[in-house]
Every structure is written in C-alpha cells, then in structure tokens.
Amino acid sequence: MSWGAARRLVESGKVSVDGRRELDPTVAVREGASIAVTMAAPKPRAESPVAGDDLVYLDGHVVVVKKPAGVSTVPYDEHEKGALSELVHALLKRRGGPVAELGIVHRIDKETSGLVLFARTLAAKRALKQQFRFHSVERRYVALAHGSVRAATHRSRLVKDRGDGRRGSTENPELGRDSVTHVKPLEALAGATLVECRLETGRTHQIRIHLAEAGHPLVGERVYGRSYRGERIEAPRLMLHAFELGFEHPTTGKPMHFEQPMPEDMERVVQGLRRGSR
C-alpha cells in the first residue's frame, strides 16, 4: 500500500491502535501495538470550532460567545454551513432540550474574531435591536493597521458600491449611511500601529474602510487599501478583534460588560512586530 493510500485510510477513521481510533497518520506506534483496520467504520465527525468554554455568558434571554476567525456570524446564503449562529444553536441544543432559533442583533466579519451577542427570545431581540439602533451598545476592537496611525474620528457615508464593486465612502449626502469610528493608537510597532477602534455606528466593514481610506489598511487586509504603497506586512488573516462588548440586559436592565483578550494568532503577529521595532 502506498503512503498516500495509508494516510487516507487513517484520516478516514478506519484504523485503530490498541483499541482506540487513530486519525494522525504520522503518529509513532509502539512496538507490539495492536493495529486493526475496520473498513466499515464511519468517518469521524468534524469538531466544531465553538466549544462550551466559548460561551462567555448565557441565560434565558441572551448569549455572548467568542467567535473564532474564519467563521461567519450568520450564513452568507442558504448553501453556507457552519456559521456561528448555527454552531451556538447546536451547542445549546446538546446541553439539553429544544432551543429556539437565535435572534441576530449584530454581526462581525468572518475574518474577525471576538465577542458576539445573540438574543434567545423575541422580546430580547427587539430590546437589543433598539440599543444597537440608538448606538448605546459599547463596542471596541483592537486592530493592527499599517503605518503610523494617529488618534482620529472618521466620519463618512458608506455605500455598498463606491463604483468598483466594493464598499466605501461617498461625498453624496443623499447616498449611503452615516458611519463613525473613533481610533486611538495603543502602540507603535515595526511598520504598523496597534490601535483601538470604538464604534459609534456599526456598518459593514466600517473599521476596515475607514482605516484604509485614511491610508492605514489593516494588516491582513485583502479587499480594501489596494492603493497602499508602503511595505505590506504578512498575516494569517485580518488583524481585527472585537475585544469589548457592553449593553443593557434586555429584561433586567442590568449593565452587562465583557472583554476578551487578543487571540493567539494575532498576539504572535504583534510580538513579531514588537521585536522588529527594537
């Protein structure tokens, strides 16, 4: 049997070592181990990227969850599977009993990591949507942006198509929607700045567009800021993380506040740029 065929056999879940299924074809097997091949064995189920400890807060009205990068908040269309809303719903269902569909009150980009809030009842959804509508929800992000970024408030009207098929700002007061992003530099790095972005409004790609239009596209940006002429910093994904979320509980009125530290993949990029700035 060729190495490729053996690898596929192991990865398909048909090989067990000493009675335990082994999915890693490169693992070292001790001498004398019992190896069995069961061709009828079912394929292993893919592990969900969202686990129980990713539920930051949960009650009968709301759930706050850590979204990993690479997972859509909601399905893009009817063909997309594995969006955060579906994963959290399935996780709650496994915890016991029927669970109503989660209410969507806001979104963050697929490549962005961080805190996301869902409503668990229709009443909670309505109350939370009102808070987002009146901009009373506290949302702060940490991001890596190219260049030396200064403190600023970016205001513009964002449109779905600025003329080249991409979202962007327009000077036409009759088009688009008002958007406001407050940017504060946190740390100067080699070729980039670690910044904090506070959203006053929550338009699609708002932070990405505002910083790109200011000449500081985010590190890992692949859509906006193509006109940037500086040296591009490589990153495994968009360096944007929703680290703070604050809102009023929809039934009790109690102030709720959550923070989530920068994930490891982003921290590694930051550390590398810190070393490069010395």
- In sequence order, the 6+-apart residues with CB closer than 8 A to the CB of 193 are 144, 145, 147, 148, 149, 185, 186, 187, 216
pLDDT tens digit sequence for 146-157? 999 999 999 999
- Report the alpha-carbon distance of residue 217 to residue 226 in Å, rounded: 8
Q: Which amino acid is at 127?
A: A
Q: Helix (H) and strand (E) counts for the chain?
A: 5, 14
**Alpha carbon distance 85, 68 (integer Å):** 12
Best CA proximity match to 113, nearest among 86, 141, 91: 141
The least confident of 50-54, 117-121, 229-233, 265-269 is 50-54
Q: What is the pLDDT of residue 143?
A: 98
Which pLDDT score is estimated for 4?
64
For the chain, what is the radius of gyration of the CA atoms?
23
Q: Which two tokens stand for residue 79?
A: 């063909």
Q: How confident is the model at residue 263 (pLDDT cuts 50, 70, 90)?
A: very high
Residue-averaged pLDDT of the chain: 89
The answer to whether 50 and 88 have CB atoms below 8 angstroms apart is yes
Domain locations along the chain: 3-37, 52-276
User: Residue for token digits 């904090």?
Assistant: 196
pLDDT digits (tens, 9 = 90+) for 217-239: 999 999 998 888 889 999 999 99
Fold of 52-276: Pseudouridine synthase (3.30.2350)
Strands 113-119 and 240-248: parallel
The closest alpha carbon to 219, from 143, 155, 152, 156, belongs to 143
Round to whole Å and give the CA distance between 170 and 162: 7
Q: Which residues are catalytic?
A: 109
Q: Which amino acid is at 50?
A: V
* Alpha-carbon separation of residue 212 from 11, 154, 257 (angstroms): 42, 11, 29
pLDDT at 98: 65
What is the per-residue pLDDT for 113?
97
Q: Please state the pTM of the whole predicted model.
A: 0.80
* Among the ranges given (30-39, 117-126, 155-164), the one the predictor scored with the smallest mean pLDDT: 30-39
pLDDT, one tens digit per residue, over 107-158 is: 999 999 999 999 999 999 999 999 999 999 999 999 999 999 999 999 999 9
DSSP secondary-structure letter at 54? G
CA distances from 270 to 83, 146, 238 (A): 28, 12, 13
pLDDT band at 276 (very low <50, low <70, confident <90, very high): confident
The answer to whether residue 278 scores a pLDDT higher than 60 is no
pLDDT band at 5 (very low <50, low <70, confident <90, very high): confident
Distance between the two ends of the chain, CA-based, in angstroms? Answer: 53
Q: Which amino acid is at 91?
A: L
User: Quick one: 185 exposed, middle or buried, by C-beta within 10 A (0-12, 13-18, 19+)?
Assistant: middle
Tell whether the model's pLDDT for residue 45 goes beyond 60.
no
Q: CA of 7: how far to CAs of 3, 4, 19, 78, 165, in Å?
A: 6, 5, 19, 33, 43
Residue 40 confidence (pLDDT) above 90: no
For the segment 66-122, what is each residue's pLDDT rounded down to a tens digit? Answer: 999 999 999 988 778 889 999 999 999 888 766 788 999 999 999 999 999 999 999
